[in-house]
A = this chain, B = another copy of it.
Amino acid sequence: MDKQRFFEQLQGIVPARVSNQKAVLNEHGAGFSYHACTPPDWVVYPETTGEVADIVRLCAAHVVPVVPFGAGTSVEGHILALKGGVCVDLRRMNRVLEINGADMYTTIEAGVTRNQLDQALEGSGFFFPIGPGVNATLGGMASTRASGTNAVRYGTMKDNVLTMKVVLPDGQVISTGSKARKSSAGYDLTRLFIGAEGTLGIITELTLKLHSYPQAIYAAVCTFPSVEAAVNTAIRTIQKGIPVAKIELLDAQMMKAINLYSGLDYTQAPTLFLEFHGSQAELNQQVAQVQAFAQAHGADAFLWEKDEARRLKLWRARTDAAPAAVALRAGAQLMSTDVCVPISRLSGCIVETQADIEKTGILAPILGHVGDGNFHLTIVIDPNNPDEMARAKALNERLVERALRMEGTCTGEHGIGVGKLPYMAQEHPQAIHTMWAIKKALDPHNLMNPGKLLPEV
């Protein structure tokens, strides 16, 4: 292929919005994690679905790989350009097209970030509940089936998208669904593209469900004598059907990290961060129940963060937990794990994992969306130390095997990317062939984000 000619053809589609400058390429070759930078050959900045379709069609004609790019915040190497090609940076597609209060949805372009969406919704009486710990784009969040702290009550991306506009590998544009709240009309393409990590097409527009802003919000911090006691309180809360909005575990090391990073002075002990949404009456009841469970597990009294400023500071600190952990060690990088198990297995899984961390001698504060059975080790590593990398990877591998043995999954919310590829066949020994059949049917030349999600079999 004549690269110069191809570059000119890209310019024909998005004039002055194509780059092959090294700095720009490198900026698009590394995610928010330890994976080695693997830059694309070109970066384009489309502004419309039509432009994305034209780019994809051109790439298909020249058999050039296409890597969709949101905010570059994924942690499993989703945006590495393993086979070069065109990186489609969607950040200029950042218009909020409609906020429909009567039907409780918003339609946005895929490059809108969650912070931007939060701002756009301010004063509307509605909010969008899904929030990973970074300012990701909504297209990226859909592509990794993201969730975050509110998922325990409001579900994940798969539960909060009505319909999407998607550019297929051949450049065709489809709507995956309608704006009705439910439908039984055909295969659920919305859910198929959510979590597909850009391997089946590029999401360019999303219609998201909105939720009424709660009448009241309480946030609380609760310190426990052990991680087990904290987790068991969470388990009991879920099993009793109490609709907590957030129930987050941080171990003692993580508490130390966020105290340092965010200028806080919480007790450095296993802790639950909690949030309750509802009417005053509902909150009183929920709080009384959870407090009783916590006390039964030897917890201190709840520390309330009722006023909005303190509440936001608390959750800001929680959001910043990953960088806070990384900041514990100069020059280090993040390797984040992400298993999810049935809730009754969570306590056992975390306790075994803690013992394993200790034995491995690696710095790995624990963080968990424990209401979902989902937790992370924020492994703080020196990527230039091969021995340490090997030990960290082995720790992660044992963790995944533990989770799978406990009928869980190798990733609750981060996705497969390249980092979790080795575990796909273990988790889906038969289903992986079905996934490949779908991939080959929609993307026969393997041009859409190649080398991600599906390992060679």
Q: A20 interface residue, CB < 8 Å from B?
A: no
Question: Which of these binds chain B: A33-41, A88-96, A323-331, A430-438?
Answer: A430-438
Q: Judge whether B185 and A416 touch: CB under 8 Å.
A: yes
Nearest-CB distance from A355 to chain B (Å)?
A: 22
Looking at A55-63, A255-263, A277-285, A291-299, the stretch in contact with chain B turns out to be: A277-285
Q: Let me know if A312 is at the binding interface, CB within 8 A.
A: no
- Chain A interface residue bracket vs B: 35 or more
A435–B192 Cα distance when bound, in Å, is 11
Contact check, A188 vs B194: say whether CB atoms are below 8 A apart. yes
Cβ-based interface call for A77 (8 A):
no
A5 at the interface (CB under 8 A from B): no
- Please tell me if the beta carbons of B441 and A340 are within 8 angstroms of each other in the complex: no
| Contact of A438 with B435 in the complex, beta carbons under 8 Å | no
Q: Are A184 and B413 in contact (CB under 8 A)?
A: yes
Query: What is the predominant secondary structure among interface residues of chain A facing chain B?
Result: loop
Residues of B within 8 A of A409 (CB): 177-178, 180, 182-185
Do residues A168 and B241 form an inter-chain contact, with CB atoms below 8 A?
A: no
Q: Is the CB of A175 within 8 A of B431?
A: yes
Interface-facing stretch out of A8-16, A98-106, A302-310? A98-106
Contact with B along A402-424 (1 / 0, CB 8 A): 01100111111111100010011
Nearest B residue to A163 by beta-carbon distance? B407
A108-116, A151-159, A266-274: which one contacts chain B?
A151-159
Note all chain B residues with C-beta closer than 8 A to A435: 186-187, 189
Given contacts A172-B430, A239-B102, contact A424 B343 (CB under 8 A): no
Tell me if A359 is interfacial: C-beta within 8 Å of chain B.
no
Q: For the complex, what is the distance from the CA of A437 to the CA of B185, rounded to whole Å?
A: 16
How far is B180's CA from A407's CA once the two chains are assembled, in angstroms? 7
With A184-B416, A185-B424, A411-B184 known to touch, is A173 a contact of B430 (CB < 8 Å)?
yes
Contact B180 A430 (CB under 8 A): no
**A372: B residues at CB distance < 8 A:** 181-182
How far does the alpha carbon of A195 sit from the alpha carbon of B186 in the complex, in Å? 7
**Interface pair B282/A340, CB less than 8 Å apart:** no
Q: Which of B183, B185, B424, B441 contacts A441 (CB 8 A)?
A: B441
Nearest residue, chain B, Cβ from A442: B437
Q: Which residues of B contact A158 (CB under 8 A)?
A: 188, 191
State A423–B282 Cα separation when bound (angstroms). 44
Chain B residues with CB below 8 A from A196, complex form: 187
In the complex, whether A391 has a CB less than 8 A from a CB of chain B is no
Question: Which residues of B have CB within 8 Å of A188?
Answer: 145, 158, 188, 191-192, 194-195
User: Which of B102, B147, B174, B341 is close to A430, meaning CB atoms less than 8 Å apart?
Assistant: B174
Extra inter-chain contacts (12) besides given A186-B424, A189-B431, CB under 8 Å: A103-B344, A104-B343, A178-B427, A184-B411, A184-B413, A185-B427, A192-B192, A192-B438, A212-B239, A212-B240, A437-B441, A438-B438
